[in-house]
């Protein structure tokens, strides 16, 4: 199996200065799967209530996403409500109703345990550790987290971090986790905690990759219309991990290209509410924007 993602599935109600969506598809596992499915075979493990509109994720099945790990239990699906001001880098949370997600315990099928690439989306680090223990020798384990776990379950999070290869974190969370204000010092401190590959997401300012051999910075794609940034980080991780999975090898060249593909997927994600843009996206559009990203920062052959 190429790629396994374990994370949340939600119904989001989001309001931005450019509109709003009510009870739209959301959750880290869905955003990640939608982006990664353009590059590799994906299996999703998550939980929803019996009120979840499963017809709305048929597009994932059509892209070959394995939904056999989607557990449906009696009760209501996880719901989140939030809003963004004109500074779209930070969401204001109005309501979080965990519902059936509160009792989520990932159940892996035998085929899931043989995955080559594993992504642990933003869930309780105790659950992340449990999944890691069940997977047999993957080529790479990616992990995401958030300020809630950094502040509330730091010790458990540190245990998880020791076991992962690639960590995704935003700039504020990196400073919080490391306890230092300088981002490069924070990055070095986090890499010393375990993950040798660190991706720091900086919202509208792009993203940064740090490894033993590489410091690589990617700009954000310039967009005139950003409707909804919800799920942008998960879409970035989906593009990044999906591309790595398609190549089957983690090296500096593939990591740099993965950064661009991650940025490409995030840029499409924010063009509409929920996953509406990702639903209609084509591989041709992805490759076209990949080439446009290259033009953004390519300078060889130009006079200076």
Asked if 238 and 265 touch (Cβ cutoff 8 Å), the reply is yes
Which pTM does this prediction carry? 0.95
Asked if 182 and 199 touch (Cβ cutoff 8 Å), the reply is no
pLDDT of residue 304: 45
103: β partners: none
pLDDT of residue 294: 84
The closest alpha carbon to 44, from 93, 111, 125, 100, belongs to 111
pLDDT of residue 299: 67
Report CA dihedral (12, 15, 21, 22) to the nearest 10 degrees.
Answer: 50
pLDDT of residue 298: 74
* Helices within the chain (DSSP H only): 28-36, 58-62, 125-134, 147-152, 154-161, 171-178, 183-192, 232-247, 252-269, 276-280, 283-297
> In whole angstroms, what is the distance from residue 146 CA to residue 69 CA?
24
pLDDT of residue 33: 97
Q: 3-297 is classed in which CATH architecture?
A: 3-Layer(aba) Sandwich (3.40)
pLDDT of residue 190: 97
Assigned token pair, 45 = 């493990």
Asked if 139 and 100 touch (Cβ cutoff 8 Å), the reply is no
Print pLDDT tens along the chain (304 aa). Answer: 699 999 999 999 999 988 999 999 999 999 999 999 999 999 999 999 999 998 889 999 999 999 999 999 999 999 999 998 877 777 889 999 999 999 999 999 999 999 999 999 989 999 999 999 999 989 999 999 998 899 999 999 999 999 999 999 999 999 999 999 999 999 999 999 999 999 999 988 899 999 998 899 999 888 877 889 999 999 999 999 999 999 999 999 999 999 999 999 999 999 999 999 999 999 999 999 999 998 887 766 655 4
pLDDT of residue 302: 53
């Amino acid at each position: 199996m190429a790629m396994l993602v374990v994370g949340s599935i939600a119904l989001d109600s989001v309001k931005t200065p450019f509109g709003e969506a009510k009870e739209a598809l959301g959750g880290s596992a869905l955003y990640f799967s939608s982006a990664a499915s353009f590059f590799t075979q994906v299996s999703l493990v998550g939980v929803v209530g019996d009120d979840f509109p499963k017809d709305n994720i048929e597009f994932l099945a059509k892209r070959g996403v394995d939904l056999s790990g989607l557990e449906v239990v009696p009760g209501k699906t996880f719901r989140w409500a939030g809003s963004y001001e004109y500074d779209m880098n930070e969401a204001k949370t109005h309501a979080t109703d965990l519902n059936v997600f509160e009792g989520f315990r990932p159940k892996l099928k035998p085929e899931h345990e043989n995955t080559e690439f594993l992504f642990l989306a933003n869930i309780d680090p105790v659950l992340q550790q449990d999944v890691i223990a069940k997977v047999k020798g993957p080529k790479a384990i990616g992990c995401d987290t958030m300020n809630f776990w950094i502040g509330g379950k730091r010790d458990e999070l540190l245990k998880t971090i020791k076991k992962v290869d690639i960590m995704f974190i935003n700039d504020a969370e990196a400073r919080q986790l490391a306890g230092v204000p300088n981002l490069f010092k924070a990055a070095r401190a986090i890499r010393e905690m375990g993950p040798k590959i660190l991706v720091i997401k900086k919202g509208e300012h792009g993203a940064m990759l740090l490894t033993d051999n590489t410091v690589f910075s990617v700009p954000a794609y310039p967009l005139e219309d950003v409707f909804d940034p919800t799920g942008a980080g998960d879409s970035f991780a989906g593009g990044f991990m999906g591309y790595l999975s398609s190549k089957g090898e983690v090296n500096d060249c593939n990591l740099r290209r993965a950064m661009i593909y991650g940025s490409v997927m995030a840029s499409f994600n924010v063009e509409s509410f929920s996953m509406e843009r990702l639903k209609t996206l084509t591989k041709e559009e992805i490759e076209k924007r990949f080439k446009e990203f290259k033009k953004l920062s390519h300078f060889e052959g130009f006079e200076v």
